[in-house]
Structure 1
Amino acid sequence: MKVKNEQLEDLIVKLRAREEAAPLSPKQPWREELDTDIAALVLAEPRGTLAIALKCGLHLLNDSIDLAHGYAQQIEHDATGAYWHGIIHHMEHDYSNAKYWLYASGKHAASRQLEEQAFRWLKEESDWTSAAEGKVKDAIEGLAAGSRWNALLFVDAIALQESGVGSEQTYRILQHVQGIEIQALFDYTLAAAVQAGQA
């Protein structure tokens, strides 16, 4: 998607230049200076729901959970805001709230891209079948076998992993799928904000 806002486009380029995957539960921003750049970002309609969602997504791509959370709380009445809020809560280990907000987001339009990309990766590229037997592998198998993306089962898989019952291999698998989840919602948010004239 072509973004006419050069400041926004520059931020996206910087965030996409990241080579390592974000942790399941980031403890600090990836690059603190990007938080300053995001705060200074001038959007066409800064108080618009999609503009706020866009800043939320930018901060989350930079592992800035607290800043992203502040934006998500402003738009939690909206399906996109609720979806961002759910992702943030599972990254904070607040799994019941994550499920609440993911459920509140309904069948979000970004779910289609997430389903396609996550299923393709799990079924064709991932090595989850060789992971050690256990509850996390069972949850990943349930995700891969489903006909629709199951955000609540994904939260359960992360909760199990973060409780210490998973392996390094299952961590990397969930980490990759979380990256797909965040990118799918960000792509949707960006396109919607541009189309609505809020970016």
Structure 2
Amino acid sequence: MTGSDTDAIVKQLFDRPLPPLEPGTTVYDKSLVDRIAKLPEHMFVVASLHLANDDIHRAHLIAQDNEGDATGNLLHATLHRREADYWNSKYWFSRVGSHPTIPSLSDAKAFVDACEAVQKEGDGDKEKQRLREKQWEELKGLVNWTRENCK
């Protein structure tokens, strides 16, 4: 597999419909699971691609193995927010420290609180839609950042 394989996967994921805030156990595209796992990329690139594919479990395995690293902790915080484990997400955001992809710790935690507040709202809710859009931009940014900075 080459960088073009990664490019093709990124394009496929970035072209997908807007993902849910909490995907549950449903992976977006099961045909990508093994392709992502076999990429000759840094583990954080692989984890961020798993997150973009709603594969919380595989992203979690990588994040858990890299506790203490700011990017590993950020991935851990993000995946827990996506699985609606809000307290745990804020715990991991506290362990990130600073990271170039998040404006501030308080903003990151406020986003977690906002996601929790709309958890029971219907998908037609404008605030939930806004949060889904913000989360998708965040996830795409995380994929791009790891591709550029984790070699």
| TM-score above 0.5 | yes
SS of 1:111's equivalent in the other structure is coil
SS of 1:71's equivalent in the other structure is helix
Instruction: Select the residue among 87, 98, 113 that pairs with 1:107.
Output: 98
Distance in 1, Cα, partners of 2:74 & 2:63: 9
Aligned residue number for residue 52 of structure 1: 43
Deviation of 1:75 after TM superposition, in Å, equals 1.3
Deviation of 1:14 after TM superposition, in Å, equals 1.7
- Confirm or deny: 8 A CA contact 2:102 2:108 kept in the other structure: no
Aligned residue number for residue 153 of structure 1: 110
Amino acid at match of 1:33: S
* Stretches of structure 1 lacking an aligned partner (at least 5 in a row): 44-50, 116-147
Runs of 4+ displaced beyond 2 Å: 163-167
1:183 aligns with 2:133: no
1:33 aligns with 2:52: no
Instruction: Select the residue among 8, 11, 14 that pairs with 1:10.
Output: 8
TM-score using structure 1 length: 0.69
Deviation of 1:76 after TM superposition, in Å, equals 2.0
Deviation of 1:72 after TM superposition, in Å, equals 1.0
Output one character per residue of 1:130-177: Cα deviation in whole Å (capped at 9) or x when no partner.
xxxxxxxxxxxxxxxxxx970111100101111449961111011011
* Stretches of structure 2 lacking an aligned partner (at least 5 in a row): none
Question: RMSD between aligned alpha carbons?
Answer: 2.1
Larger Rg: 1
- Confirm or deny: 8 A CA contact 1:80 1:105 kept in the other structure: yes
TM-score using structure 2 length: 0.89
- Confirm or deny: 8 A CA contact 1:111 1:149 kept in the other structure: no
Distance in 2, Cα, partners of 1:66 & 1:174: 22
Output one character per residue of 1:34-64: Cα deviation in whole Å (capped at 9) or x when no partner.
0111122223xxxxxxx11111101011111
